[in-house]
Amino acid sequence: MFSARALQLSQRRLSLPKKSLGRRFQSTAPEPPPAGGHLPSIATSSYLRATRDSALRSQDIRWLDGDNNGPPGSVIAGRETRKMNLYQAVRDAMAIALMKDDTAVVFGEDVAFGGVFRCTMGLAEEFGRERVFNTPLTEQGIAGFGIGIASMGHTAIAEIQFADYIFPAFDQIVNEAAKHRFRSGGQFGAGSLTIRCPTMSVGHGGLYHSQSPEGYFLGASGLKIVIPRSPVQAKGLLLGSIRDPNPVIFMEPKILYRSAVEQVPIDDYQLPIGKAEVLTKGNDLTLLTWGTPIYHCETALHMLASPPESLAPHVPPSLRSAKVELIDLRTILPWDVDTITESVRRTGRLVIVHEASMTGGVGGEIAAEVQKRCFLKLNAPVRRVTGWDTPVPMHYEKFYIPDALRILDAMVETLTY
């Protein structure tokens, strides 16, 4: 259910003058947008853990205390958190990995000075240029190099500067990393390789700074793909990915690097790979997504419960009390079919949201599997709200990326099917 805070927010919204409402939904900030992008609705998201207590109580958190001096593994009393945004959380995860694992190295283009998104700030100074270093400009080289390091049992944490540039490395990732163990009869493997890359739209990225390429890798069995929605998630999932004995592609929604801020536990902890998280429970419709669209979904849920005046005619009053179950998939491959199936069997309706184009996107894979398992329980066709089948167009982005309005519309249609 919605938190008290969320109800507070939605009530506040209705009493605001029209001018502010405009500002809420159409950003008219006077200063130029920062290069990393800025999503207004995130700052007020109820899914971000703004307090120490809520952060420490994140679902399925597993503490990895190496020594006997620290608090015991299952206890949260005495643990500290620190305010971090997503890039700081990513950096924190890598620092812990470098600290605890002598074989770990971090490499990629421009990582030594701190990275173009600051994810590696200070790591070269702290751990030395032999462990945190720049590579020449070659994604196929970065991926191949990482596979070589991993095949020797060392931990390789590679960075691809933008997910849009992962394609030169596609052969190394799909033909080599994913298949290394299978083809060698289990003797070798690239399991200790993790490839990180910034993904998804940023507001002004155009074709080549906005892509969500997770769908291309679905056929590369042997790989795992993980996409976090927030700083607490990013740190735990990244540590989980680094330590997972399979090669993992970790895609970080770049627009969230600065705008998602939470209290993040400073200890070493992991979140489970392969497990989705239910953010809001409900019985009327399952809303499934990952990464940035989580926040658009949150806004859409508020709009469904109490639509703004302009949209009220399009949201039947009977639907405004609908309880929607919002799920963050988190791991895209292998995806948590049990959680999704259990949910859809209850709700009978599924809406999947992703920024990647419709055709060939992950939504199609999930929809096929869900219809197979929940065929007789479905009350409406599985609905996908996605980017269009065009490259991401620079000045049309607001009509391209699925926003709260499109998600709201899809929910209404699915609920009234």
Partner 1 sequence: MLRVPRFPAAVRATLARRTYASTTVQLPDEAHGHLPTSQSPITSKLRFFNSVVEEGKQIPTYRVLDGAGRLLDGAEPPEMDEALARKMYENMARLPIIDNLLYNVQRQGKISFYMTAYGEEATLIGSAAALAPDDEVLGQYREMGVLLWRGFKLDEVMAQCFGSYEDTSSKGKQMPVHFGSRKYHFHPISSPLATQIPQAAGVGFALKRDPARRGKNCAVVYFGEGAASEGDFHAGMLLASTIPSPTLFIARNNGFAISTPSSEQFYGDGIASRGPGYGMHTIRVDGNDILAVLSAVREGRRLCLEEGRGVLIEAMSYRVGHHSTSDDSFAYRPRQEVEDRKRVDNPISRFRLFLESRGWWNAEEEESYKEKVRKEVMKAFKRGESMQRHEVKEMFNDVYVGEEPWTIREQRQELQALLKKYGHIWEPWRSELKKHKGEGKELIESDH
SS3 for 386? strand
Subset of residues 229 to 248 that bind partner 1, contact rule: CB under 8 A? 244-246
Q: Is 139 a catalytic site residue?
A: yes
Rounded-to-integer distance, Cα 333 and Cα 223, Å: 7
Candidate segments 92-100, 179-187, 230-238, 318-326, binder of partner 1 by CB under 8 A = 179-187
Question: Is residue 188 a contact residue for partner 1 (CB under 8 A)?
Answer: yes
Question: Which of 138, 359 has the CB closer to partner 1?
Answer: 138
Rounded-to-integer distance, Cα 45 and Cα 34, Å: 20
Smallest gap from Cβ 401 to partner 1, in A, equals 29
Element counts in the chain: helices (H) and strands (E): 15, 16
Please state, in angstroms and as integers, the Cα–Cα distance from residue 48 to each residue in 5, 52, 231, 256, 278, following that order.
12, 11, 8, 12, 14
Rounded-to-integer distance, Cα 167 and Cα 172, Å: 10
Question: Is residue 143 a contact residue for partner 1 (CB under 8 A)?
Answer: yes
List strand residue ranges (DSSP E) for 293-367, in order. 324-328, 331-333, 350-357
Question: Which of 92, 244 has the CB closer to partner 1?
Answer: 244
Candidate segments 4-12, 57-65, 135-143, 286-294, binder of partner 1 by CB under 8 A = 135-143
- Residue 133 CA to chain centroid, in angstroms? 26
- Residue position matching structure tokens 């004995």: 245
Smallest gap from Cβ 129 to partner 1, in A, equals 8
Smallest gap from Cβ 150 to partner 1, in A, equals 8
The residue among 255, 253, 210, 259 whose CA lies nearest residue 234 is: 253
Smallest gap from Cβ 177 to partner 1, in A, equals 10
Question: Which of 60, 102 has the CB closer to partner 1?
Answer: 102
Q: Is 309 a catalytic site residue?
A: no
Residues at the interface with partner 1 (CB under 8 A): 102-103, 105, 128, 130, 133, 135-136, 138, 140-141, 143-154, 156, 168, 171-172, 175-176, 179-189, 191, 221-222, 244-246, 274, 334, 337-338
Active-site annotation, residues: 139, 209
